[in-house]
Amino acid sequence: MLQVADILGESVCDGLGLRTVVFLQGCPRHCKGCHNAALIPFEGGRAYTPAELAAAILQKLTPIHRGVTFSGGDPLAQAKELEQVIPLVRQERPDINIWVYTGYLYEDVKDYPVLRLIDVLVDGPFILEQRDISLPFKGSGNQRLIDVLQTLAQGSVAVLSL
């Protein structure tokens, strides 16, 4: 089961193009100044099976949606369950682009199997002292937009070119 705080049908600020955003409940990090502090507790939200969550996501996608973003909380706190959802979404929409936001560094989660299923990982904890609202798709200067497929292919972190 996955604990989901909300599913937003349309967003243009959580990745490239029109996206559906899934806000997962729970984060172990407790970053000072957290953008989604209400999602830090693991209790709350609604429980979904992987199949139920995939169906809910697919129901919100239209032909003009470019992707799905998993945010939170921290989606990688539910990595094993998320690993079951993404293939179900891609089975119906193989063209869909998948982004995951996490407070973990890529180097700490690079062996998580779910990473092989996504396109972009926005990594790193939010650091209030490095907050910069001019940065596209991230909240603080330390965070990286990682092209996961290129990173896996070359064996070193490849930052997404916008």
Q: Is the pLDDT of residue 35 over 90?
A: no
2-154 CATH fold = TIM Barrel (3.20.20)
Which residue, 37, 121, 35, 25, is CA-closest to 77? 25
Q: How far is CA 33 from the centre of its chain?
A: 19
Give the per-residue pLDDT at 86: 98
What is the percentage of the chain residues whose pLDDT exceeds 70? Answer: 100
- What confidence tens digit (pLDDT) does each residue in 73-106 have? 999 999 999 999 999 999 999 999 999 999 999 9
pLDDT at 161 over 90: no
Section 34-54 average pLDDT: 94
Q: Is the pTM of this model over 0.85?
A: yes
User: DSSP for 67-89?
Assistant: EEEEEES-GGGGHHHHHHHHHHH
